A and B are shown apart, each in its own frame.
Chain A
Amino acid sequence: MRKGLGPFTITALVAGFAFLYLPILLLIVYSFNDSRLVTVWGGFSTRWYGSLWQNQALLDAAWVTLRVAFVSATLATILGTMAAVALTRLGRFRSRTLFAGMLYAPLVMPEVITGLSLLLLFVAIDLNRGYWTVMLAHTSFTMCFVAVVVQSRLIGFDRSLEEAAQDLGATPLRTFFSVTLPLIAPAVAAGWMLAFTLSLDDLVIASFTTGPGATTLPMRIYSQVRLGVTPEINAVCTLFIGFVTLIVMASSLAMKRQMIVAEQPVRG
C-alpha cells in the first residue's frame, strides 16, 4: 500500500486542522489587542489581562467552577470506574441492559433534557440549589464518560494476570487494587481529566441546577458573551484555553510514561 503523503492527504490535513484551529488562534491573538474595538488591530497589549484581576465576580466564578470540577470529577471517576468494572467483570446479570442503557444514554443526551430533569429532581426532594446541586449534576453526567474510557481499557488487557492473582489466593478486592488498578491507571487518569474538563466547560446543565451564590465561570462568560464580543472576554477565554491545554498536555505526557511502565511486564 502506498503510504506517501500525496497531495490529497496534505490538503485534507491542512484544511481540516486550519478549520479546527484558526478561530481559536484568532481569538487568542485578538485578546492581546490594545483597541477596545475587537475587530480593529490597535497594537499589542496585555491590558485586558490586567483588568481581569480587578473583576471580583469573575474570580469568584472561576473559584466555584474549579471546586465543582475537582469534587465532581473525583466522585465521577470512582463511580464510573465501578460501573466499568461491573460491566466488564461481572458477566451477565439481571437488568444489565437497563444499567448499560442508563450509562450510555447520557453520552448523547441533549443537555437541556439532562439539566431540566435534574432541576426537577432537586426541586422535588426540596434540596437547596447551589454549589452542591451543580456538583451532583456534573458527577452524574461525567461518570458515564469515565465509565466508557475505563471500560475500553478493561476489555483491552490480558485477563490472565487477574486470574493468576486469584489462583494465588488474592481476594477480588486485593486483585483489583494490586493488579487491575495499576494496569488501568492511565485510563482512570484520562477519565478524571475528561470529567474535570467537561465540568469546567458545562454551561447548560449548570445553569439549570444552580442557585444563588453559585455562578460558574461559563455562566459568567455566557452572560457577557450574549452582549457581544469584548477584549476582556477574549482574555478570559485565552486563559481558560491555556489552562486546559496545559493540564491535558501534562497529563498525556504523564500517562504515556505510565502506560510504558504499566505495559512492560505484560509485553515482556
Chain B
Amino acid sequence: MSRVGHNIHVSVDRLRQLAHRDGRPRRIKADAGTCPKCDSHYSADEMRRNLRVCPACGHHFAVTARERMEQLGEPGGYVELWPELRASDPLQFTDLKPYTERIVDAEKSTGMGEAIVCAQLEVRHQPAVAAVMDFTFMGGSMGAVVGEKLARACDYAASEGLPLIVVTASGGARMQEGTLALMQMAKTVIALDALADARVPVVVVLAHPTTGGVWASFASLGDVTYAEPGALIAFSGPRVIEETTREVLPDDFGRAEAQLRNGQVDAVVDRRELAERIGRVLHILSRPPGDDASTAAPALQWAQGGAQKVGEAVQALPSLPRKMMDRIRPGSTDGEDAGDTPA
C-alpha cells in the first residue's frame, strides 16, 4: 500500500490534531481561522461583523481598543482624546529586553501609542466619555500614561457632565515602571471621585482579562459593572494562586460567571448586546432636560416638590376653624401653645 493510500483512512479531526503536534504553541489570530473553543471556521469579515464573537459557540475574542470604540459608538465615529501621550522609562528598566524597546515594538505591532484609548462618543444616542484598554499593547498594563489618560478622562467627563464608560482588559500595573506604576492605582481611584462630585455615573465593562492592580483600583469601583462572558476577573491570577497556596482551582475560577455568583459584578453581558445595554442604563440614569449638576439631586427635587404641594394644599383650606389652621400650618408656634394650654 502506498503512503497516500494509507493516509486516506485518517479522519479530518485526526489531521487537525496532527497539525498542532509540532510542538509550537497553537496561535490563532482573530482575523482568520478557527475558534479555539469549538473549532468552527470563520472569515475575517464575518468575525468583524459579529463583533469578534464566535458565531457558533459565542466565544469572545480579544478586541482592540479602537475597534471597541467603533462597536460602542454611533456610525459617526468618535473623537479621540490625548493620543499624543507616551510612556517614559523612569527606571531604565531591562528584563529580557529593555523597556524602551518593548514600547517601540508595541507601538509598531498595534499602531497605538499606549494601552488605553480615550474618546468622546455617543452610545445609542447617549453622549459619554469612554476609556477603553487594549490588551494587545503590553498586556494592557497600567503605567503612568494609562493612569494619566484615565485621570484626564475622569476630569473631562466631570467638567462636561458626561457619564464615563471604562472598558478594562489588563494584566495589572506595568512592572517596567516599578513603584511609579503602583502609584497609578491611587491616582485613578482619586480621579474617579471627580465624577462623584459632578454627580455623573461610571459604567465599567470588564473584558478578558482584568487582573492585578487594575481590578484592585478603578475597575472595581464602577457604579454599574458588567463583565464579558468568560472574562478572567481577579486580583491574583490562577497561576500565582496555585504556586503560592498549592490550591487546586476550579476551571471557572475568577471567570465572569463565577464572579457574578460571588457578587462582584452586576451582570454578564454578551458583547453583541453590550452597546444596547450601556445605552439603556445611561438613559435610565440620565437627568431630565434642564436639570444639571448645580441643582438638587432628583430625589431631593421630588421631595421638595411634594412638600411644596402639601404646603399649597394647607394654604387652600381657609374654611377650617382658626385654631385648627394654626395647628397644621407649618412654622406656626401659636397653635401648639394653644393646644398645650388646658381649656
Pairing of A with B: no
Task: Please list the residues of chain B having a beta carbon within 8 angstroms of any beta carbon in chain A.
Answer: none
